[in-house]
Amino acid sequence: MAQPSQVRTYHPAESAVFLKTNERFGGLSNMAPGFPIVLNGVRIRTSEALYQACRFPRRPDVQRQIIDDPSPMTAKMRSKPFRSDTRPDWDAVRVKIMRWCLRVKLAQNWQTFGKLLLSTADMPIVEKKVRRKDFWGATEQPDGTLVGMNVLGRLLMELREQLKGDEAESLRFIEPLAIPDFLLFGEPIEAVQAPNNAQIPGWAARQSPAPVAAPPPSDPQPSLFEQPMNSETKPAPAHSAADSNRRRGALGRFPQYRDSGLPWLGEIPEHWDVRRNGRLFAERVETGFEDLPILEVSLRTGVRVRDMENGARKQQMADRSKYKRAAKGDVAYNMMRMWQGAVGVAPVDGLISPAYVVARPFPEVDPRYYTYLFRTTAYMREVNKFSRGIVSDRNRLYWDEFKQMPSAFPPTEEQTRIADFLDAHGRLAARLIRNKRRLIGLLNEQKQAIINRAVTRGLNPDAPMKPTGIDWMPEVPAHWEVKRLKTLVRNVTEQTNSLREGETYIALEHVKSWTGEITPPGDDIAFDSQVKRFAANDVLFGKLRPYLAKVTRPEQPGVCVGEFLVLRPTEEAPMAEFLEVKLRSKTIIDIVNSSTFGAKMPRAEWGFIGNLRFAFPPNDKEQAEILASISAETSTLSNAISRTENEITLISEYRERLIADVVTGKLDVRHIEIAAPVDEPIADEDDALDDVLEDGDAEAMEGADADD
């Protein structure tokens, strides 16, 4: 009798078989310990616990019981009384969820699980079942063979082939499934990523030799993962690479391409077109709508309504009669900063500065697609070529030049599909980055607690203390000195508008919060206003938004923006290194922050900071011991922070690359399921500071242009 099409027969001697977790291939079991998963900040011991938790998206209490149980088998049994609360589409999505669980297991255990998976070589992978349960595995027959659907084993084989093939690098970043109610403890499940620079010993991902994919081998399980189960025996049809990608929900190339004729764009899908911007947009120059809100273009967030609250900006700051109307859905760009990506879609009807261009999209244009295209690196380089001006950083892209620029033109429905896909991906990426920044915040809190204790109480817990009479610093070690900061440092205010050879230029955005790490700009430095000159080992204290703790100590001379206090230690001061760490301690930062004025851009004043009482050990030896202890105790935390920051960088780079490939037709997203919307991420303090600095530049440029 013919077997059902999904049933397979395996010979144990020729297969990678696992039953118990302590066997050679036991780590392939979902029950296997040693392959932990962290999802939404929650540590999950095994992929089995993760899979079972996915059954109950609307029962966080049941998910908690499953995840907290130390035994995956016990956790599975605990869930049985609640099976009536299983998600209603479980039978339709369980294989998809299992595939996702295995990918997450690999991404977060890249070296160990990847090495184990590759050790199976080309053998069939089989989960042996002792009872007659042959869906996920196979049961032993009287002749010694193993017979069953072996779905888990086949999913592992699929993952192994992807790991050995061209898709390997894509397995490092795993998106959440685009299915309803994909939740953990009531929150949408987030993307996960492999550790930075993790490699499988003795393995390197195979690189695709050409951009056009070659036909792959036939899919060994065409109906199992993408079509309903059935018992009819049918031959598996052959599929193209694009068809295979579409069926797996993977990103792939379009079937056919042609040369666009544009070096920066390269090949485009055969059915796409190239059009001048003048055939896509018309300039809108409409004035006299003075009651509309003022809009601005941000490099980070596109077009937004300008904040007029808290006295930060005044309504009468400019003659509104000169402002142009932008209708909701219009594209607006800053003529002087389009080359940096200062472009976006108007969220509401509003007023745009005369320094900006307003472009009304024609009916066949989805403006969201074009703002993604305009922000790609390749397109921004083209903007520079079409811009005019005396100096490069003041070049303007006028409408007459903008309308001559060629752009890709996909069919309208594809423009919308691309924009929807990138919008959804952007929400997920932003949420992931936000949570990683929260993790960094928690790690920083632990680190700052260690630093704060050391620089306020010393290293000897039994040292006698003396009262200070200061509310925020009630006592210090008895042998420490307490002096006002202004007696220990000199506030240097020397200004200049030039940069000497060998000097560096430092702005607030070049200093990392809470660490003082400096990332100086490149060689092409330009600044219009006067800046302060500092010497090596001067301490720079950021007085704008002091809660960001932008305090640093450059090792070479240079100039800095006026938002830094330049503090030069006197002979009575402690070591410059100790002074820097002390000024960046949480106690000092909190006190300084409590004195600020200004709502949107709070600043501290030297008059307050200089009068702060400053406690420190009188000899350099003790100061050095404190610094060495801080370094030793915080090194693990610092490394974890650095790794998480690198992950954020990789996520951002991945997104930039994805956007560029999708909007230029290198990847086809027409068949991709779009993830359900998630809550918009909350802007963090770094974003807020970037916006403040950017806004100041934008206003200065806006005023300059408006007078032309």
Instruction: Characterize 296-311 residue by residue with b for buried, 16 or more Cβ atoms within 10 angstroms of its Cβ, and e for exposed.
Output: bbbbeebbbebeeeee
> Quick one: pLDDT at residue 394?
66
pLDDT at 545 over 80: yes
CB 516 within 8 A of CB 586: no
- Give the span between the Cα atoms of 622 and 578, in whole angstroms: 10
CB 492 within 8 A of CB 567: yes
pLDDT-based confidence at 518, cuts 50/70/90? very high
> Quick one: pLDDT at residue 617?
96
pLDDT-based confidence at 459, cuts 50/70/90? very high
> What average pLDDT does the chain have?
84
User: Is the pLDDT higher at 152 or at 529?
Assistant: 152
* pLDDT digit string, tens, across residues 464-489: 999 998 888 899 999 999 999 999 99
> Quick one: pLDDT at residue 522?
65
- Give the span between the Cα atoms of 497 and 532, in whole angstroms: 8
- Give the span between the Cα atoms of 319 and 45, in whole angstroms: 62
* Most confidently modeled range among 307-311, 413-417, 600-604: 413-417
User: Is the pLDDT higher at 678 or at 210?
Assistant: 678
CATH T-level fold of 8-211: Tetracycline Repressor; domain 2 (1.10.357)
> Quick one: pLDDT at residue 696?
43
Task: Estimate the crossing angle of helix 620-663 against helix 367-374, to 10 degrees.
Answer: 130
Q: What single DSSP character describes residue 597?
A: B
Mean pLDDT throughout 609-613?
95
Average the pLDDT over each of 57-61, 250-254, 353-357 and give the range with the smallest value: 250-254
Closest CA to 541 of 557, 556, 520, 562: 562
> Quick one: pLDDT at residue 221?
35
CB 52 within 8 A of CB 76: yes
- % the chain with pLDDT above 70: 82
Read off the pTM.
0.61
Rg (CA), the chain: 30
pLDDT-based confidence at 704, cuts 50/70/90? very low
pLDDT at 437 over 50: yes
> Quick one: pLDDT at residue 524?
58
CB atoms within 10 A of CB 203: 14
- Virtual CA dihedral for 68, 70, 72, 78, nearest 10 degrees? -60
* pLDDT digit string, tens, across residues 73-118: 887 777 788 888 999 999 889 999 999 999 999 999 988 999 999 9
Closest CA to 377 of 695, 169, 687, 653: 653
For 206-327, strand residue ranges (E) read 257-259, 267-269, 273-276, 281-283, 295-298, 302-305, 324-326
- Give the span between the Cα atoms of 595 and 591, in whole angstroms: 7
Q: Which residues pair with 491 in a beta bridge?
A: 567
pLDDT-based confidence at 687, cuts 50/70/90? low
Taking 3-state DSSP, the helix, strand and coil percentages for the chain, each rounded to the nearest 5, stand at: 40, 20, 40
Mean pLDDT throughout 245-255?
67
Mean pLDDT throughout 407-424?
96
User: Which amino acid type is present at position 29?
Assistant: S
> Quick one: pLDDT at residue 203?
61
> Quick one: pLDDT at residue 226?
40
**Superfamily for domain range 273-409:** DNA methylase specificity domains (3.90.220.20)
- Give the span between the Cα atoms of 74 and 86, in whole angstroms: 18
> Quick one: pLDDT at residue 708?
32
> Quick one: pLDDT at residue 99?
94
CB 174 within 8 A of CB 191: yes
- Give the 3-state DSSP-derived string for 354-397, with helices as H, strands as E and coil as C: CCEEEEEECCCCCHHHHHHHHCCHHHHHHHHHHCECCCHHHCEC
Average the pLDDT over each of 11-20, 35-44, 81-90, 202-211 and give the range with the smallest value: 202-211
User: What totals of helices (H) and strands (E) does the chain contain, helices first?
Assistant: 17, 35
CB 428 within 8 A of CB 176: yes
Mean pLDDT throughout 242-253?
58
User: Is the pLDDT higher at 697 or at 558?
Assistant: 558
* pLDDT digit string, tens, across residues 557-603: 999 999 999 999 999 999 999 999 999 999 999 999 999 987 778 99
> Quick one: pLDDT at residue 5?
57
**Superfamily for domain range 459-616:** DNA methylase specificity domains (3.90.220.20)
> Quick one: pLDDT at residue 471?
87
Q: How far is CA 396 from CA 70, 153, 355, 634, 699, in A?
A: 63, 60, 10, 48, 15
> Quick one: pLDDT at residue 324?
92
> Quick one: pLDDT at residue 249?
52
Q: Per-domain residue ranges for the chain?
A: 8-211, 273-409, 459-616
Average the pLDDT over each of 236-240, 324-328, 454-458, 552-556 and give the range with the smallest value: 236-240
Q: How far is CA 314 from CA 309, 311, 317, 318, 326, in A?
A: 8, 6, 5, 9, 20
Mean pLDDT throughout 302-319?
60
The structure tokens listed for 362 are 């024609």
> Quick one: pLDDT at residue 261?
93
Mean pLDDT throughout 598-622?
92
The answer to whether 8-211 and 459-616 have equal CATH topology is no
Q: What single DSSP character describes residue 642?
A: H
Q: What are phi and psi of 668, to 5 degrees?
A: -105, 120
> Quick one: pLDDT at residue 250?
62
Mean pLDDT throughout 629-641?
93
